[in-house]
Structure 1
Amino acid sequence: MALVACPECNHQVSDSAFKCSQCGHRLRKAKRGLFGTLFKWSFILFNVLMAVWLFSSFGIMGEAMQSSQNEYEQAGAAIGSALGMGMIVTTWALGDIILGLLVLFTRPKEA
C-alpha cells in the first residue's frame, strides 16, 4: 500500500482509496465487476434490439394494411397489428425493468 498526495488538499492517502479522507475529493472511480458489465451491456443490447423490432413491425403493419382486399381484412390487420405492438411494448417494459434492476444491483460500490 503506497501513499499518494490528494490533488485537492495534498493530504497523504492510500493509493487504493476512492476518496480523500481529509477533503472528500474523488481520487478514482469504482469499476463494475464481470456480472455488472454483462448486465449493463445486455441492457443496452436489449433496448437496441427492441427498438429495431418495434420499427420493423411498423413496416410489416403497413404492408399488411395495403395488401388487404376489403375492409374486413383491413380491420383484422389493424387489430392484429395493435395486439402485436402491445406485446412488443409489454415485453420491452418488463425486460427493461428486470435488466434495469440487475444493472442497478450490480453497480460498483465505493468504500
Structure 2
Amino acid sequence: MALVSCPECEVQVSDSALKCTGCGFQILKLERGFFGKLFKWVFILFNVLMTYLLFSYFGSVGEVVSTSDSEAAQTGAAIGATIGTSMIMGFWVFGDIILGLLVLFTKPKS
C-alpha cells in the first residue's frame, strides 16, 4: 500500500482509500459492474419505450374515438381506452419497480 497526497488538503492517505481522512474529499470514484450498467440501461430504455408506447396508444385511441359513428360506439371506445391506458400504466409501474430495485441493488457501494 502506497501513500498518495490528497488533492484537496495534501494529507497523506492510502492509494486504496475512497475518501480522504482529513477533509473527506472523494479520491476514488466507484463504478458499476457489468450487470449494474446493464440494469441501468435497461431501466432507461424501458421508460423511453413505455413513454413512446403510451403516446402512440393515445394517438390511435383518439383516432378510433373520433371516427366512431354512434354515441354508443364512442362511449365504448372511451371505456376501452381507459382500460387499455390503465393496463399500460400498471405494466409500466410494475416494470419500473422491478427494474428500479435491480438498479438500486447493483449500484457501487462505498
- Normalised to the residue count of structure 2, the TM-score between the two structures is 0.93
**Shift of residue 15, structure 1, vs aligned partner:** 2.3
CA distances 1:49-101 after superposition (whole Å, capped 9, x unpaired): 00000111111111110221111111111111000000011011111111111
24-33 or 9-18, which moves further after superposition?
A: 9-18
Structure-1 separation of matches of 2:29 and 2:23: 16
Amino acid across the alignment from 1:65: V
SS in 2 for 1:95: helix
SS in 1 for 2:24: coil
1:93 pairs with 2:93: yes
RMSD between superposed Cα atoms in Å:
1.1
Structure-2 separation of matches of 1:45 and 1:16: 35
Gap regions ≥5 residues in structure 2 = none
Gap regions ≥5 residues in structure 1 = none
Q: Percent identity?
A: 62
1:64 pairs with 2:64: yes
1:81 pairs with 2:81: yes
Q: Indicate the residue corresponding to 2:23 in structure 1.
A: 23
2-11 or 64-73, which moves further after superposition?
A: 2-11
**Shift of residue 22, structure 1, vs aligned partner:** 2.7
